[in-house]
Structure 1
Amino acid sequence: MNKLKSYTEYIILAAVAVLLLLYIIFRSAGNINYVLPEPAAVDFENISRITVEGPMKGLADLEFSKTEDQWFIEPEGWQAENSNLVAIAKALGDLKVTDLISTSGNPGVYALDEQQRVLVKAWEGDDLIREVWVGKVSNNGIYTYMMFPGNENIYSVRGNLPSRVKDKNSMRDKRFLQIARDSVQKMTLTSTDSLEPVVLTKDLTTIWGSESFEADDAAVKAVVNMFDPLRCKDFLYEQPSGSPAWNIEILTAEGAVNLELWPKTADDIYPARCSQNGYLVQTTSYAVEKILGALGIVFEEE
């Protein structure tokens, strides 16, 4: 009886092994039916221009160009958030196709139909070195669905490229003033309601002082630290009404930088402009009042 039982168990195990082997064989045979694209790797540092064409998120077409190590938004010539553009260039330079998702059409499911997909191109000089249709991101946020020109198949590619593409305003670099803290030598404040400028200078022991008021050395140093860099809250695209209420000339080892500040608006922001780039920006009341306070301007508590 025991021998019969053992014999039966051997037959069952052998049958399971055969079925498993057949499954592996047929599964492997099925995988041979397609070959995943292997886009040639591109050194992201050689990418000098990127364009984004299409209706993704309802955005207008975008174009970015690189001069030396800085990316710009074209045709306006605005400085772009460099780390974001570097990440996009890296993603385009090293596309890792992980799987074939669909060969049967229905691209709308993956945001790759003509109404949703985005054409992303990358150039090295005048040479087009990358071109890909970009759809939506997988549910786990790890992959992006893509198509390649001349190929109707839909593939998954490692990375979340769409999250990097935003509207022009959001792609801009919000650092509108940047001065190395150790290079600031002197600050001069002029205002519309004062005839005498306020001058702050460092002595040989790097203590800040002024003949106009009793300067707080720690407060001035905290402001100088804010200059490396000073970020805006947002950008302005229309000239603020009236004239600047204050102008701060910041003298550095490399030359002078001027920061113009307009009176505070009803939205609790200060319009500003820096001579380093000429951009009109919105700055927070916290930052501006801390800077002006260190220069002797007293604000009444609201």
Structure 2
Amino acid sequence: MKIKKEYIILVLVIVVLSVYLYQRSADRTQYELPEIPAVNEKELTKLEITKGETVLVLNKKDDKWYIAPADFPTDANRVKDMLDAIKDFNLTALVSESKNYNLYELDQGQKISVKASQGDQLKLEFDVGKTASSFRHTFVRPSGEDRVFHARGNLKNAFDVTVDSLRDKSVLTLKAEDIQEFNINKAQQSLAFTRTQVPVEVNTQDDAKPGAAEPSAPKAVWQAANGQPVDEPAVNQLLNALSNLRCEKFIDDRKKEDLTSPLFAIELKGGQEYKLSIFPKTAENDPNYPAVSSGSDYPFELTTSQAERIMKEPTALLQAPQADQEKTE
């Protein structure tokens, strides 16, 4: 009788375990993650980013991305972030089936909708919500899904963009070492500077000694058109400030030709010619200076600190007279 009772208990335990395992398996099936199609980001030709009433469209032409409809050039790094996020888009967990989308910033007013296409073929579509508290995942809703999932990575940073943040803000790109001459105009003063090769002074007595080193090659120095000695560090500082110049923002309601009478203008020549003109502030309290350059088809603004580093008086690039140096010392 005792043995029979133990068998009954054992059978009950087996039944309970079987039911538990079955339900667990059923739960896994119920919460199976949807399959996300693989996307080759190099084959994409169009991106569409929608937030609220704003629709931002990017088109790929000749391996470069442009913002429609004006075909503004884009910041390559920002576009790469978006393409990488699309390529690596991956769901990691089911978060909610309640359809309470506002909790995850996936409601109509807050979500960011992303469409990635190759030609006329839509390759991937999903909605981006807020970033999880860990900042390692983002709440998302793939196309055709009512459920909310976690996706790996901070997708909000990649896709929460505007036309201004996506535009390429490089307005002048040059190599300081390639520049051979430049001319500055400021406050009705104009002065040209030329990089010239000069021989290095050598000690003739040392050269006459056996085993003396070969004479040094001529070195490049800057010379001013007025014959005064040039402050080489000041010139190098100016050229470095211009070498990879990025604007603060673009001016959309004016054309380049609308800006006249610059406060400061500089023309440089090397492998090609470069120009930059900086104009008076529109209002005294404005934080930025309007400007135009040969490196941009659009007028733009430079911050006050940027402009002040560039707008040097021509005489500021000259060495102080010897008498003034002695007084300073």
Superposition TM-score, scaled by structure 2 size:
0.74
Q: Give the aligned partner of residue 224 of structure 2.
A: 210
Which segment drifts farther, 21-30 or 224-233?
21-30
Give the secondary-structure state (helix, strand or coil) at the position aligned to 2:110: coil
Q: CA deviation at 1:69?
A: 4.8
Q: In the TM superposition, what are the counterparts of 1:78-227 in structure 2 within 5 Å?
A: 78-164=72-158, 165-191=160-186, 193-194=188-189, 197-204=190-197, 205-212=219-226, 213-227=228-242
Give the secondary-structure state (helix, strand or coil) at the position aligned to 2:239: helix
User: Which one of 231, 235, 250 corresponds to residue 250 of structure 2?
Assistant: 235
The aligned amino acid for 1:198 is L
Cα distance per residue 1:163-191 (max 9 Å; x no partner): 23222222223221111223222112234
The aligned amino acid for 2:182 is M
User: Where does structure 2 lack aligned partners over 5 or more consecutive residues?
Assistant: 1-14, 198-218, 318-329
Task: Confirm or deny that 1:273 pairs with 2:287.
Answer: no
User: Which one of 261, 268, 273 corresponds to residue 256 of structure 1?
Assistant: 273
Q: CA deviation at 1:192?
A: 6.4
Give the secondary-structure state (helix, strand or coil) at the position aligned to 2:95: strand
Q: Partners of 1:291 and 1:116 in 2: how far apart?
A: 42
Higher Rg: 2
Give the secondary-structure state (helix, strand or coil) at the position aligned to 2:30: coil
Q: Does the CA contact (< 8 Å) of 1:219 and 1:294 recur in 2?
A: no
What RMSD, in angstroms, separates the aligned Cα atoms of the two structures? Answer: 3.0
Q: Give the aligned partner of residue 291 of structure 1.
A: 310
Superposition TM-score, scaled by structure 1 size:
0.80
The aligned amino acid for 1:223 is L
User: Where does structure 1 lack aligned partners over 5 or more consecutive residues?
Assistant: 1-17
Give the secondary-structure state (helix, strand or coil) at the position aligned to 1:90: helix
Q: Partners of 1:38 and 1:132 in 2: how far apart?
A: 13
Q: Does the CA contact (< 8 Å) of 1:110 and 1:135 recur in 2?
A: yes
Q: Partners of 1:278 and 1:115 in 2: how far apart?
A: 35
Q: Partners of 1:23 and 1:227 in 2: how far apart?
A: 70
The aligned amino acid for 1:249 is E
Q: CA deviation at 1:22?
A: 7.9
The aligned amino acid for 1:286 is S
